[in-house]
Amino acid sequence: MLEAVFSSSSNSTGFRIRAAQGRAADHGLSDHGFAGWAGRVAATLFFTLFPADCRICGSPLIRVSRLPVCETCLIALRPLKGSYCTVCGEALHVPAYIDYEETDRREVDRLEANRSDVETRCLLCQRADPPFERAVAYGSYDGELRDLIHLLKFQQVRPASAILGHMLAETIANLEQAMPVGTLFSSKIAVVPVPLHARKQAQRGFNQAEMIAREALKELSRPKRFDLCMGILLRRRETGSQIGLTRHQRRENMRGAFAVSDPTRILNRNVLLIDDVYTTGTTASECARVLRRAGAATVWVATVARTLKISDAIILPENFSEQVSEDRQRLAAHG
């Protein structure tokens, strides 16, 4: 049996050795012994000589890299540009767009004066403050960025975490300026990645939020300001898909999903919650609520990507809530 394997692998092409390895496996030799070793050497040689295609766009890779993504796809990973809700990060249409080239000076002054009244929060954040101070993201959850996150999460391409972590580091650096210097209890910001349920983490082999957070912390200019707090926030149950649920149903779906294991570690501290993606904000809000209830002073949210729905920053009249309750009373009176 061994002789057969050796004779077929005596031809030095990688293909032949791989074939021999396959045959060895057929004969129950599996990965052990010479055939397995030769197969691994051949495979390495094969991928060095013929690098794989870009796992995002499929074009052939010119350079050999641990991350199987081409230069063009990497360049396409751009940060968000435009106007965003200053609380939750949702995209806003800015009502008073000023075309500086075409507008005369006096008109520009008038428009700019008006602009200072423009509401910088989206409609949802105007109606109710979320349980976190601010949520920020590096880019929009679509195109190459979405694909890169999927490579990490669903295809276990772990080297993707370094570049995602780099983007998160940039996002955190911007957010850091707005964050308080510290509380009486701790000057360090407690970094808390959104946990996965134990079963899901075992299945995936890692928690992408934790992995990206670790990569990001390595790159921050003041890493001593941050303190990665693992095991504080727990996911008690799997929550299932949020797709197709209303806001209310999503919140119900999340209720009781998270818990804080040791409140003393976040008591009166500023917490930075980390996740790969911010979609509807339900997860971030629920985590923030649980952390605040356990005693966190403030909760901030940073993610690599965000789903953007484009919300109009409609300015609500000051007495909006009074009007609403008046309308309700009137409706109630009319049965």
* Binding residues with Zn ion: total (CB under 5 A): 11
For Zn ion, give the closer residue by CB, 66 or 224: 66
Both ends of the chain: CA-CA distance in Å?
89
**Cβ of residue 220: shortest distance to Zn ion, in angstroms?**
26
**Residue 288 near Zn ion by CB under 5 A:** no
Residue type, 118: V
Q: Which of 5, 24, 42, 87 binds Zn ion (CB under 5 A)?
A: 87
**Cβ of residue 256: shortest distance to Zn ion, in angstroms?**
25
Which of positions 116-175 make contact with Zn ion (CB under 5 A)? 122, 125
CA dist 197 and 193 (Å) reads 13
CA dist 97 and 262 (Å) reads 49
Is residue 49 within 8 Å of 38, Cβ to Cβ?
no
**Residue 85 near Zn ion by CB under 5 A:** yes
Is residue 157 within 8 Å of 150, Cβ to Cβ?
no
Counting DSSP H helices and E strands in the chain, the numbers are 13, 9
Is residue 193 within 8 Å of 275, Cβ to Cβ?
yes
Q: What is the DSSP letter of 147?
A: H
Half-sphere exposure of 110 (CA within 13 A, CB side): 5
Which of positions 37-56 make contact with Zn ion (CB under 5 A)? 54, 56
Per DSSP bridges, beta strands 258-260 and 233-235 are antiparallel
**Region near Zn ion per CB under 5 A, out of 62-70, 133-141, 190-198, 316-324:** 62-70
For Zn ion, give the closer residue by CB, 127 or 255: 127
For Zn ion, give the closer residue by CB, 29 or 145: 145
**Cβ of residue 164: shortest distance to Zn ion, in angstroms?**
16
**Cβ of residue 53: shortest distance to Zn ion, in angstroms?**
8
**Residue 35 near Zn ion by CB under 5 A:** no
**Residue 73 near Zn ion by CB under 5 A:** yes
Q: Which spans of this chain sit near Zn ion (rule: CB under 5 A)?
A: 54, 56-57, 70, 73, 85, 87-88, 90, 122, 125
